[in-house]
Amino acid sequence: MYLIPLLCLQMTFEVISRYGFNSPTKWGFEVSIFLMGMFALLGGGYGILHKSHVSLDIIYGRFSERGKAILDIVTFPLFVIFAMMLVWLATKWAWSSTLILERSTTVWTPYIFWFKWMLPIGGFFLVLQRLAKLLRDVRFVISGTGQERK
């Protein structure tokens, strides 16, 4: 969330430079992609923590809190398979980019290998946060108590 104000400042600067002074920057477009990309890729775990991801409420909403926790426990292995494949494949992709010190093909040509590491790092954060949620769900199903299910 701290990246959004930076993105707003950068975009404001770009608009003023482009339309106010007729002097667009070479780096504005890619910096906005980097900032928004980091926000999206690294924010997934935060989204799980605050239950802000989209769910199919037509089905999920019909369950009690205990039923939702059980459903989340049952579907956890599917999530882990998906997330670990994401982390594994994205790590291979980022590593190959790092080996060649990959650059963008635009006029500015910044290094982009570092940005590709945001995907496996974000995937790892997703797994960690989902594991924490699994532990809360298991505690809730067994004891019926605990913090509010998120």
| pTM for this entry | 0.84
Band (pLDDT 50/70/90 cuts) for residue 144 is: confident
Statement: residue 21 has pLDDT above 90 = yes
pLDDT at 32: 94
Query: Do residues 113 and 97 lie in contact, with contact meaning Cβ atoms separated by under 8 Å?
Result: yes
Which residue in this structure is represented by tokens 């004891």? Answer: 143
What's the average model confidence in pLDDT over 91-103?
Answer: 97
Statement: residue 55 has pLDDT above 90 = no
Statement: residue 61 has pLDDT above 90 = no
Rounded to the nearest integer, the mean pLDDT of the chain is: 91
pLDDT at 49: 87
Dig out the tokens for 99 from the structure.
Answer: 């080996």
pLDDT at 149: 52
